[in-house]
Amino acid sequence: MPQRMPTVLLVAASPVDQDRLRLSNEVKQIKQALERSRNRENWTIETNEAVTVDDLRRALLDFRPAVVHFSGHGGGIGGLAFEDDKGETHAAQTEPLTKLVHHFKDSLKCVVLNACYSEVQATEIRQQIDYVVGMSRGIDDESATKFAVAFYDAVFAETTFRQAFDLACTAIDLNNLPDHDVPVFLTGPNLGGDTLLYTALIPQFEDLLLAYINAPYDQRYKFTTKGDAIREKMGRFYGEQLHTIVDKVTVVSTRQIDDEHWRIRSAVLVKGEKASGDHYLCVRDRSIQIEWEASVGYWSMPPKTYLALGTSEPIIARVRASLGTSYYGEFSDKRRQFQSVDLRTRDNRTLHGYVRRPSPEGKQLIELLSDGNRHDITVTIGNVCDETDHPFIHSVLSTSWLLPEENSA
């Protein structure tokens, strides 16, 4: 049986009771993108306009596409606007849409939701599909079309979906159109579950991180916000660690913390092997620098030293925290007074911390961590018993690994 060519399924809906969109123009231009491509014999396009949810289900069965592209209206938690039998709005909710694509996850590699506020659906669909594109807010009609055409120009040129996303956002930017920062690129759990918000700074982020990582440890201070003032501290931190040269750095997720600071997750390529890591960057006066303490998860006393010796005074600790259920030693019979908090260091050492429930820091941590996820936080801790891996949490300094003075610098 001949191998099926990968198919892009274009589905569009513009219900008569919604503002009309020029979706046929978007579909036409995507088809032209394939006609222009040198690889036009390697792909097929199937289209379904004025689509209902039943049309979508049947098309998925008939064509088993590698890519599904939806163009139309989105309403965030209100769902995506498909059409009903009368051509009016049928709001398809996130949960059933996610269940639908789940049945086709073996062949479906990428879903593009070119609709306003569709990040809501994209966030759930990425639990089933490796690559998903959504929109974080409303997007201009012309910008949405420009994004779609540029995305498929790249896909048909055999780039990765991530490269196609970057080029599509850049196309909006190059044409002086609004909303280049609206598209969001998400990967599924098998690929790290990352979220990438486009910024024109990504090439500069990648260049800076490549130069910083490849710099000898005793020269890295030059790339940091504190420069020579932190040189001695960095020397003690790195000690006699062996230095490894990397071949390539690729930003895989971005999160803007405030007007000047970004948390960047990057993939690094070392002799054909991939690894990943997080860095905090400061963008100020057209200069990009590393926030070093936050990037390395710096403690005011090295975690290994603290675990061995303990401390009589609280120390600063940057940890990934989540609510815990274990109560040991001094805290084993004090569940009502204390909340257990699992604390993980950057090098994956695990401590079981405790915070007083009725205290301000206790209430703050419980509220922050109640979503069930791990959060990067900066706290002060100290041991109140012989077991140093069961520290007491004295205070919460920051809900990231940046300290307040760095946020306001």
> Is the per-residue pLDDT at 51 higher than 70?
yes
Across the range 129-150, mean pLDDT stands at 96
> Is the per-residue pLDDT at 2 higher than 70?
no
Q: Are 207 and 223 in contact (CB under 8 A)?
A: no
Nearest CA among 297, 266, 255 for reference residue 402: 297
The 10s digit of each residue's pLDDT in 60-77 is 999 999 999 999 999 999
The 10s digit of each residue's pLDDT in 157-184 is 999 999 999 999 999 999 999 999 999 9
The whole-angstrom separation of Cα 67 and Cα 101 is 11
Residue 409 confidence (pLDDT): 46
How confident is residue 88, by pLDDT bands cut at 50, 70 and 90? very high
The whole-angstrom separation of Cα 88 and Cα 101 is 23
To 10 degrees, the CA torsion angle through 340, 343, 224, 185? -100
> Is the per-residue pLDDT at 227 higher than 80?
yes
Per the document, the length of the chain is 409
Residue 134 confidence (pLDDT): 97
Nearest CA among 125, 173, 170 for reference residue 151: 170
Measured CA to CA in angstroms, residue 183 lies from 89, 115, 138, 148, 156 at distances of: 24, 10, 10, 10, 20
Across the range 392-406, mean pLDDT stands at 91
Q: Label residue 271 left, alpha or beta by phi (over 0 means left) and psi (-120 to 50 means alpha).
A: left
Q: Is the dihedral of CA 233, 235, 241, 243 positive or negative?
A: positive
Bridge partners, 279 (sequence order) = 264
How confident is residue 285, by pLDDT bands cut at 50, 70 and 90? confident
Question: Model's pTM, two decimal places?
Answer: 0.77
| CB proximity list for 149: less than 8 A, separation 6 or greater | 26, 29, 30, 32, 33, 171
Residue 73 confidence (pLDDT): 92
C-alpha distance across the termini of the chain, in Å: 64
Q: Which domains does the chain have, with CATH numbers?
A: 7-194 (3.40.50.1460), 202-296 (3.10.450.50), 303-407 (2.40.50.140)
Q: Which two tokens stand for residue 10?
A: 């274009």
Residue 3 confidence (pLDDT): 58
Residue 52 confidence (pLDDT): 94
Residue 62 confidence (pLDDT): 95
> Is the per-residue pLDDT at 1 higher than 60?
no
Across the range 340-369, mean pLDDT stands at 95
> Is the per-residue pLDDT at 27 higher than 50?
yes
Bridge partners, 318 (sequence order) = 378
Between 210 and 195, where is the model more confident? 210
Across the range 288-294, mean pLDDT stands at 97
User: What's the mean per-residue pLDDT of the chain?
Assistant: 93
Q: Say which range, 2-6, 41-45, 275-279, has the weakest mean pLDDT.
A: 2-6
> What percent of the chain shows pLDDT beyond 90?
80
Residue 5 confidence (pLDDT): 84
